[in-house]
Amino acid sequence: MNAHASPCVVIGDLVGSRTVPDRREVHRTLEKALVAVNAAVPARTELRVTAGDEFQGSYATLGGAIDAALRVRLELLPTLDARFGIGRGTVLILDAERGIEDGPGWWAARAAIEEIEERAERAPLRALRTAFHVADPDAHERAQEQAVNAALQARDHLIGDLGERSLRLLRGLLDPHTTQSDMAAVEGISPSAVSQRIRADGLGVLILGHETLGVLP
Report the Cα 174 to chain-centroid distance in Å. 13
Q: How far apart are CA 10 and CA 45, in angstroms?
A: 10
- The whole-chain average pLDDT of the chain stands at 92
Q: How far apart are CA 173 and CA 3, in angstroms?
A: 37
Residue 23 pLDDT grade (very low, low, confident, very high; cuts 50, 70, 90): confident
Q: Which pLDDT does position 95 carry in this prediction?
A: 67
Q: How far apart are CA 7 and CA 124, in angstroms?
A: 32
What type of residue is 200? A
pLDDT at 4 over 50: no
Q: Which pLDDT does position 3 carry in this prediction?
A: 40
Mean pLDDT value of segment 127-153: 95
What are the tens digits of pLDDT across the range 31-79? Answer: 999 999 999 999 999 999 998 899 999 999 999 999 999 999 999 999 9
Which pTM does this prediction carry? 0.92
